[in-house]
Chain A
Amino acid sequence: MLNYTLRRLLISVPTLLIISLAIFLLLELAPGDPMAQVPLTVPPEVKQKMREALGLGEPVPVRYWKWLVQFFWIEPLNMIDNIFGTAFAAGEQRVLSWQTRSPVMDLVLQRMPQTLWVVGMSYIVGVAIALPIGIYSAYKQYSVFDQAGTFVSMIGYSVPPFFSGVLVIVIFSVQLGWFPSIYDTTHRVVDWDTFVVQLQQMVMPVMVLALQTTAQISRFMRASMLDNLNQDYVRTARAKGMTEQVVVMKHVLRNSMIPVVTVIALGVPGIFGGAIITEQVFKVNGIGQLLITAIQANDLPLVQTLTFIFAVLIVAFNLIADILYGILDPRIRYD
């Protein structure tokens, strides 16, 4: 197991390097210009100077190397400095966003809470709703509940969030006035009332996103349960005189959860990147919104760092999924 983990870790290093290079080269091809937002009145010479100030003058390999050093060495040092108050990275050039001229990592950290609150919560809610639906649908296969569950989850999958999002805003914000249509990222939860406010502003984005998560996970859970319900060991458990509850919720569920848990783990990175549209609709200015503004503003360092962070998350959660699989399933022996 340890060996396996180490091996996977080792493999992920070249994987990540290749990904970072691929992203870098891809962005290198970008026809856009970071000066696009600068008004037409700014003279070209000034624009040229501004471009150079962004480091655009240097050759590609140099910039790539610089970025690697900044990302893998200076940023971690900075993190340490922040936590322990040391000064390892003092004076080192960090990865700077072209658009805001501030360190990219600061931006990312700033956006993290919203994303975690809303998108993370929606994932949790989605999974929490999905599992019972999946379990019950499988147990009562082809029942009315199963059919309805299938239908609802298909709907959840089929309706694009930018449609459902606007729809719920019009209904719940405009018509009924229950929830705010604009998410307040500066809101701090300090007491019960502020907590209620936080809940109110989270309800709609969380539900819209959770609908999609629920759709996917419940289908998966159902399939996994169905696979296991036909297994011989279920018959054994029944033959032992176990109650249906024990049979389903203990014997079958435990086995069915193995693939589902890994799927859930694999879905986590999607939290950070996949909610771009929902964040846009509800103005939850999280990581996804950061990325889309960066793309629109041709903020290449930010785009690159963000996409790369997504890649790191994906690789990391792949690893976690594999390890979870090993932990949950005693049959798996990695060596």
Chain B
Amino acid sequence: MKLKTLLMGAAAATALSPAMALAEAHEGERGRDGQLNIIYWQAPSTLNPFLSGGTKEVESASLVIEPLVRFDENGEMVPWLAESIPTVENGGVSEDLTTITWTLKEGVMWSDGTPLTAEDAVFTWEYCTHPEGGCAQASYFDGVSSVEAMDDRTIKVTFNAPKPFPYTAFVGSESPIIQKAQFADCLGARAPECTDANFGPIGTGPYKVAEFRPNDVITFEANEMFREEGKPAFATVTFKGGGDATAAMRAVCETGEFDYAWNLQIDPTVRADMIESGGMCTEVVAFGTSVERLHLNQTNPSADLGEARSTVEAGPHPFLTDPIVGQAMSMAIDRQLLVDIGYGSGGTVTCNVLPAPPAYASTANDDCKVQDIEGAKALLDENGIVDSDGDGIREYEGTPLKVLYQTSTNAVRQDTQALIKQWWTELGIEAELRNIDASVFFGGDPSSPDTFQKFYADIEMYTNNFAGVDPEAYMANWRCDEIPGPGTQWQGSNIQRFCMEEYDALVDQMAQTAGLEARAEIAKQMNDMIMQSYSIIPLIHRGGVSAHANSLGGVRMNDWDSEIWNAKDWYRTGE
């Protein structure tokens, strides 16, 4: 729909100042609306997003420190600390796509009263790319060979290769600019020791930190130095963490103690009920690129293979490499029901691993949106995958279709597992369910057999997404050389061990292509290629669900950036 505006429209966005976007915004004195209460049921452990990449840390920090550009609720770029968005057209991006030059807005002050300069951006780059620093957001500086301060307000980022999509460094809430003066002594290994700075970064944002209690509560107060007149509307913000999603929602929707609750991943019926019975809150949803999907192991995970299991050396999976099996499994799933039960308004059915931004979303696979168990049965029957020994389980060339289906421990995932298991049972495929604690599953410990990378199972389910709006790096995940294995300490993002030369070629092609439309075309092609291999079965396009009190105005739910990205514009309505 907004194919054109997606990136090209960046220029247009410059004209659209945030203040104008909220033309109806309540004007007035800074701090006039008193107190704002936000509840995140997972509490932030630090306010330095470079030290912990968790959503809760990044979003809480987004009230204080800011990037050059943010994405708005449509995934469009909005200049934030930058005056405008550099493009090839306006000369901000060099023709050879290797440099991008940013200009800071004029008169931006840190909350301590010192001016924001290009040096701060340069320092931020040094800070996050320091080899001993363990910066959680280092990927935003991938390919950046240098960041220079041309003058006080001009920042030049140079890439070591042409970068068709150069809006990574200093873009989005995960890559904000920190103050050099504050963090100068915190480079590298010393980064974690600067507790005061990490817990109370000085920022340019609408609020400054009054008190930070790790894993508990943060108190913010309005930043007197904030560049926009009359903002923020609230004098103080309490950012409470802890508890559970239901309780958080209850506090906003039923008792009215809080104004904003984040990530309400609870039973949709309960959610609907609370909204209705309390009548105090509004649910807000935003979709990004998160897709809950099944990965079908393309290698043989049999425990008999010992060390070699689930590696390329183990050879192909006995039956999951046949797209027919995958297709039948996919057809048997009622995605809409999964949405209804686990996600409600926070999810939609999808048949793509790359569901958004809309420009990149393929429509070639939409058949999967409707469950068709009979069709799936027929498909298997046609291909001779039948139950030959009468035990209710089909055999594939003599191998019974029994799968070990694992995921992380999470109530919704277990419900999904149970449902899918039942459908597959109907189909004649037996599934053994297994769930692993998230910290282990996603922990990446090379010695643990239960990480999602090791994939000692036939099928695993989790959500993945990509930050920002450009899918290049995301789609590159499924290159052959990204297959995890002992050689790479099980690092690698091609979890289902999909390998296709044509696909790798498309990845390379995309890295060379600058035209956004062409890029979108390639991305869709890659998406379809994976979909048709049925090595990934996408289930649900997941969105963020939050709720805000009806008395809170100005909320624009956003999944491309921090969801409280525009907290500066929030205000108390008359209600």
Contacts and interface: CB of A to CB of B under 8 A. Distances in A.
Interface of A: 31-33, 35-47, 49-54, 96-97, 99-103, 106-107, 110-111, 169, 173-174, 177, 180-182, 184-186, 280-281, 283, 285, 289-290, 293, 296-298
Interface in B218-270: 219, 238, 240-244, 247, 250-251, 254-255, 257-258
A285 B136 contact: no
The 10 A-B residue pairs with the shortest CB-CB distance, nearest first, are: A50-B134, A33-B443, A44-B491, A101-B192, A36-B439, A285-B216, A100-B214, A36-B443, A102-B195, A33-B445
20 contacts: A32-B439, A33-B448, A36-B439, A36-B442, A42-B136, A43-B491, A44-B488, A44-B492, A46-B135, A54-B192, A100-B45, A101-B192, A101-B198, A110-B214, A174-B250, A174-B255, A181-B251, A285-B241, A289-B242, A290-B215
Contacts of A174: 250, 254-255
Interface string B50-64: 011110000000000
A53 B133 contact: yes
A41 B214 contact: no
B138 interface: yes
B138 A182 contact: no
B309 to A, nearest CB: 18
A186 B136 contact: no
Main secondary structure on B side of the interface with A:
loop
Given A43-B138, A46-B134, A49-B134, A110 B213 contact: yes
A47 B191 CA distance: 15
B439 A41 contact: no
B138 A46 contact: yes
B544 to A, nearest CB: 15
A168 to B, nearest CB: 13
Given A101-B192, A280-B243, 18 more contacts: A31-B440, A32-B437, A33-B444, A40-B464, A41-B139, A42-B138, A44-B489, A54-B192, A96-B193, A102-B46, A169-B247, A177-B255, A181-B251, A182-B257, A186-B211, A280-B242, A281-B243, A285-B242
B46 A100 contact: yes
A181 B198 contact: no
Interface string B137-157: 111001000000000000000
B439 A297 contact: yes
A32 B240 CA distance: 27
B139 A101 contact: no
Interface of B: 39, 43, 45-46, 51-54, 131-139, 142, 189, 191-193, 195, 198-199, 211, 213-217, 219, 238, 240-244, 247, 250-251, 254-255, 257-258, 437-440, 442-445, 447-448, 450, 464, 466-467, 488-489, 491-493
Contact of B443 (A32, A49, A283): A32
Q: Which of B142, B254, B488 has the most CB of A within 10 A?
A: B254
Contact of A49 (B131, B243, B244): B131
B178 to A, nearest CB: 15
Given A31-B445, A33-B444, A296 B439 contact: yes
Nearest to A107: B214
Nearest to B135: A46
B467 A44 contact: no
B243 A283 contact: yes
Contacts of A42: 53, 136-139
Contact of A185 (B46, B54, B217, B447): B217
Nearest to A51: B134
Contacts of A173: 250, 254-255
B270 to A, nearest CB: 12
A36 B243 contact: no
Nearest to A283: B243
Given A41-B139, A99-B45, A297-B45, A181 B257 contact: yes
Contacts, number: 178
A289 B247 CA distance: 15
A335 B213 CA distance: 47
B192 A182 contact: no
A159 to B, nearest CB: 19
B53 A38 contact: yes
Contacts of B443: 31-33, 35-36, 298
A33 B439 contact: yes
A285 to B, nearest CB: 4
Contacts of A33: 439-440, 443-445, 448
A230 to B, nearest CB: 49
Contact of B450 (A31, A38, A45): A31
Contacts of A186: 211, 213, 217, 219, 238
Q: Which of A47, A53, A289, A290 has the most CB of B within 10 A?
A: A53
Contacts of B464: 40
Given A185-B217, A280-B243, A297-B45, A32 B52 contact: no
A3 B136 CA distance: 55
Q: Which of B53, B189, B257, B467 has the most CB of A within 10 A?
A: B53
A37 B45 CA distance: 11
A52 B192 CA distance: 12
B139 A169 contact: no
B216 A110 contact: yes
Nearest to A98: B192
A74 to B, nearest CB: 13
B488 to A, nearest CB: 8
Nearest to A182: B251
A42 B493 CA distance: 11
Given A32-B440, A41-B139, A101 B217 contact: no
A70 to B, nearest CB: 13
Contacts of A40: 442, 464, 493
B466 A41 contact: yes
Contact of B439 (A45, A289, A298): A298
A184 to B, nearest CB: 8
B247 A283 contact: yes
A100 B215 contact: yes
Q: Which of B52, B131, B139 has the most CB of A within 10 A?
A: B52
Contacts of A298: 439, 443
Given A32-B437, A53-B192, A283-B240, A293 B215 contact: yes
Contact of B444 (A41, A44, A96, A293): A44
A295 B191 CA distance: 23
Contacts of B240: 182, 184, 283
Contacts of B142: 43
Contacts of B216: 110-111, 185, 285, 289
Contacts of A280: 242-244
Contacts of A43: 138-139, 142, 491
Contacts of B54: 37-39
Nearest to A284: B242
Given A101-B195, A110-B213, A280-B243, A180 B138 contact: no
A186 B39 CA distance: 14
A53 to B, nearest CB: 4
B444 A50 contact: no
A320 B423 CA distance: 61
A97 B254 CA distance: 36
Contacts of B258: 182
A111 B491 CA distance: 38
A142 to B, nearest CB: 43
A330 to B, nearest CB: 47
Contacts of B488: 44
Nearest to B190: A53
Contact of A53 (B189, B215, B250): B189
Contacts of A32: 437, 439-440, 443, 445
